[in-house]
Amino acid sequence: MPGVSDTVKPAVSRQPRMRPSRVPGRRRRRDTTTAYTLLAPSLFGFAAFLLFPILVVVWLSFHHWDLLSTPTWAGADNYGTVLGDAAFLNSLAVTAVFVCLVIPVQTAFGLVAASFLTRGLPCSAVFRVIYVLPWISAPLALGIVWKWILAPTNGLLNTLIGERVEWLTSPALALPSVAAVVVWTNVGYVTLFFVAGMLGIPQHIIDAARIDGAGPIALFWRIKLPLLRPTMFFVLVTSVISVFQLFDQIYALTKGGPHAVTDSGTLGYTDVVAMRLYTEAFSTFNVGKAGVIAVILLGLLVLITLAQQLYFRKRTTYDLS
Amino acid sequence: MAKRILKSAAIAAASALMLSACAASDTTEASTTTVSFRLWDETVAQAYEASFDEFEKQNPNITVNINVVPWGDYWTKLRTDVAGGTMDDVFWINNSYYGAYVDSGNLMDVGAVMGASAAEAWEPSVVDQFTRNDTLWGVPQLYDAGIAVYYNADLLEKAGVDPEALDDLTWDPEEPKNDTYLAMAKKLTIDANGKTAETEAFDEKNIAQYGTNLAYDLQAVLLPFIGSNGGHFQDGDEFAFADDKSAQAIDYLVKAINKQHVAPSAADTNDDGDFSLNTFTQGKMALFQSGLYNLKNVSQNADFGWGVAMLPAGPEGRVSVTNGIVAAGNAASENKDAVKKVLGWLGSEEGNAYLGVDGAAVPGVVAAQDTYFDFWKKKDVDVSPFFDVVSDGKTIPAPTGPNYSKGFEQYDPIFKEIFAGTVKPLDGLEQAQAAANGAIGADG
């Protein structure tokens, strides 16, 4: 079959890097057309399933709608109501506490677990699979299992410790309990990436450090951790986003409760932003207010991602290739 | 070349075949109409299966599909499906939620569809409940009568209590001397060491058997206790539970749960509506105050001797809530003629009787109700306490109003905290009432 090897070889490698800018205009336009044609299917998906819903939510946030009557224009009313709503501000605070509690703990657990899993101990492969199981299971189903484990009467945990503890309904314990379930769910996913990152560190660098006298602790803090920076960035960004969108476990375990009844309103101890959004949209049917919360959540996530990107860009990244 | 022609011909033939196949299935579909029917109760759905089998025999061109949507999701899904235009043709609706759908024009006017005289055959209290703006908005399907108390005869016998004594129990939040109910509940609450809640040595942390199911259960506990103390839950569509009598009744319940420990804690019951039912059927609760909606559950799952006693009387006597459920027609349905036939069947003695025949529910068609009584008489179960309690006409209205769900979302978390004992009843009720009334007045 003549010519096959020519077509298989990547064309880019043989061409000088600056070549595209010297291509005549017509050729470039044709390239762009081809590119868009090839991109069309995924662009369609992006527009239909991502961009369009976002635009609809933005549109809804400027309307009053209870799902039954026709939506009426609300101007900025909903934004005013939501920003002055103690329950919404509380949900932001609760979400922030969740982030501060869940992210450090799951990252630390993930790093420790990854260090053990990359040591080549027996059964490492089995453990790698077991660690990821919670993450690939349906969070709502896991939530229901955990609800039974943490139930005050006949719950597995209380039966084991022989004491009646109200894990999910006492104001002091509800948030830490849910956070623990979230950490348990996510740790495997985080570990998976750290394992991949650690396996990507060339053995000769580690050997060199050992020869220079680095013990296991110095090796971890001075060599492995700095070299894991790109992995760390990815893990932190995705974890923060996932904790901000935390909903399933809350829905299954506490539905936002227990509540503090205060002069400014009824505030849930585990009422995270996504739970508040759900309550506004599907329990009280204030779809406009829910739209505002969704828009604010989107804005916050974009800001957080940008901030994280800036922070990590300033720091050195090592090229291991 | 010849091959290619042959291939094209084959493809053309195949396409034609497929087209004709499509056309054929189209014509058969056109001759039968499918009507979808939605409800939340699995037990009653089985009775409907039998009913619609007969209906389909009589109307071979109509098929009825039953969709069971669990209670926990029912009202959210109903709302989103109506908004999305994917709602079933006929669906169950209750007194607390139907108002919003009437006001938004989503329900069929039953009088216009079935004739004004049709309602004469139906349970009058249910017809009243679902009449709004002088129009009836649903075909009565079942009638809940009143609230009564299921008792575990084995546990009563162990405690030396005659079941007939239960009918004379009274509770009184002001005069402990008149309160025989709480004394009975304490006698029937026993810890792991066999000590009753009457004794000093009672270990409240290790309760093996509860006396009662007092809890934040609006229909079975809260409304009857408020009503029997002369309090109100609503005044028209507005919430009015922050009055002294209601607060006193709720305070009584909260103390019975958290101080006397005669009922499971709010941590168990607030989020698990079936906790008490399960505890009772497991033989770990002596008295279970509930409605006919749990009769079938109790009868199927209790493997001990049991019976039904009257609701305990309060300072104002026995004041129960009564409730009904109707089948409503979706005004946006495309199969209006078929829906009309299905509604006609559901409102007929023949069609509705299936609910009573196997004891699932009291039929909303009065003439069909005997089937229900016959079923339970054969099982040797006396259901009269559920009916006697409402026979004198003293009832507390079931929650209602077009924006009830918005009010509910406001008061519900506060009520849970009141029962958990973290908020004082009167303070909590005042705040809950203000928040709930604010929500039904303000339009989101």
pLDDT of residue B171: 93
Tokens, residue B204? 């409240």
**Residue spans in chain B of domains classed CATH 3.40.190.10:** 32-145+323-368, 148-321+400-441
Closest approach of A284 to chain B, Cα-based (Å): 5
Over residues A270-274, the mean pLDDT reads 93
Tokens, residue A184? 């348990």
* Same structural domain, A102 and A228: yes
Q: Is the peptide bond before A258 cis (omega within 30 degrees of 0)?
A: yes
- Domain B32-145+323-368: top CATH class: alpha beta
Which of A150, A161, A168, A169 to mutate to probe the B interface, most B CBs <10 Å? A169
pLDDT of residue A318: 63
Q: What is the pLDDT of residues B221-272, one digit of tens each?
A: 999 999 999 999 998 889 999 999 999 999 999 999 999 999 999 988 988 8
pLDDT of residue A321: 54
Tokens, residue A278? 């759900």
The reply to whether A319 falls in a domain is no
* Same structural domain, A287 and A141: yes
Write the CATH number for A209.
1.10.3720.10
**pLDDT at residue B405 above 90?**
no
* Same structural domain, A161 and A111: yes
Could you tell me if A276 lies within 8 Å of chain B, comparing CB atoms?
A: no
> How far is C-alpha B417 from the geometric centre of its chain's CA atoms?
23
* Same structural domain, A83 and A54: no
Over residues B297-309, the mean pLDDT reads 92
Closest approach of B110 to chain A, Cα-based (Å): 20
Task: Please say which residue of A60, A86, A105 terminates a domain.
Answer: A60
Contacts with A, B 272-311, CB within 8 Å = 275
Which residues in B lie closer than 8 A to residue A168 (C-beta atoms)? 267
Which residues in B lie closer than 8 A to residue A166 (C-beta atoms)? 265, 267
The reply to whether A234 falls in a domain is yes
Determine if residue B431 is left, alpha or beta; phi over 0 gives left, psi from -120 to 50 gives alpha, anything else beta.
Answer: alpha
Which of B74, B76, B102, B440 to mutate to probe the A interface, most A CBs <10 Å? B76
* Same structural domain, A12 and A159: no
Q: Contact B270/A169, CB-based, under 8 Å?
A: yes
Q: What is the pLDDT of residues B73-104, one digit of tens each?
A: 899 999 999 988 889 999 999 988 888 899 88
Q: How confident is the prediction for chain B on average, in pLDDT?
A: 86
Provide ipTM, 2 decimals: 0.80
Which of B258, B279, B406 to mutate to probe the A interface, most A CBs <10 Å? B406
CATH architecture of B148-321+400-441: 3-Layer(aba) Sandwich (3.40)
Q: How confident is the prediction for chain A on average, in pLDDT?
A: 84
Out of B265, B416, B439, closest to residue A284 by CB = B439
The reply to whether A67 falls in a domain is no
Classify each residue of B184-197 as buried b or exposed e, where b means 16 or more C-beta atoms within 10 Å of its C-beta.
Answer: bbbbbbbbeeebbb
**pLDDT at residue A14 above 70?**
no
**pLDDT at residue B27 above 80?**
no
Residue A77: pLDDT band with limits 50, 70, 90: confident
The reply to whether A321 falls in a domain is no
- Domain tally, chain A: 2
Which residues in A lie closer than 8 A to residue B267 (C-beta atoms)? 152, 166, 168-170
pLDDT of residue A119: 78
pLDDT of residue B388: 87
Q: What is the pLDDT of residues A188-238, one digit of tens each?
A: 889 989 988 888 888 888 888 888 888 888 888 888 888 888 888 889 888
Could you tell me if B85 lies within 8 Å of chain A, comparing CB atoms?
A: no
Helices A229-244 and A287-314, interaxial angle, to 10°? 170
Q: What is the pLDDT of residues A16-40, one digit of tens each?
A: 444 455 555 666 677 888 888 888 8
Angle, CA B217 vertex, CA B212 and CA B223 arms, to 5°: 100
pLDDT of residue A108: 93
The reply to whether A116 falls in a domain is yes
pLDDT of residue A116: 84
The reply to whether A120 falls in a domain is yes
Task: Single out the residue of B129, B142, B137, B127 nearest to residue B104, CA to CA.
Answer: B137
- Range in A52-61, A62-71, A85-94, A309-318 the model is least confident about: A309-318
Over residues B399-410, the mean pLDDT reads 88
Q: Residue B5 CB: number of other CB atoms within 10 A?
A: 9
Q: Identify the closest residue of chain A to B440 by CA–CA distance.
A: A284
Q: Identify the closest residue of chain B to A166 by CA–CA distance.
A: B267
Which residues in A lie closer than 8 A to residue B431 (C-beta atoms)? 261, 266
**Residue pair B225/B193 in contact by the 8 Å Cβ criterion:** no
pLDDT of residue B308: 93
* Same structural domain, A115 and A200: yes
Return d(Cα A290, Cα A28) in angstroms, integer. Answer: 45
**pLDDT at residue A147 above 50?**
yes
Which residues in A lie closer than 8 A to residue B405 (C-beta atoms)? 283-285
The reply to whether A149 falls in a domain is yes
The reply to whether A71 falls in a domain is no
Q: Can you give the residue range of the structural domain that contains A177?
A: 77-314
Q: Contact B104/A69, CB-based, under 8 Å?
A: yes
* Same structural domain, A154 and A281: yes
pLDDT of residue B17: 43
More confident residue, B3 or B44: B44
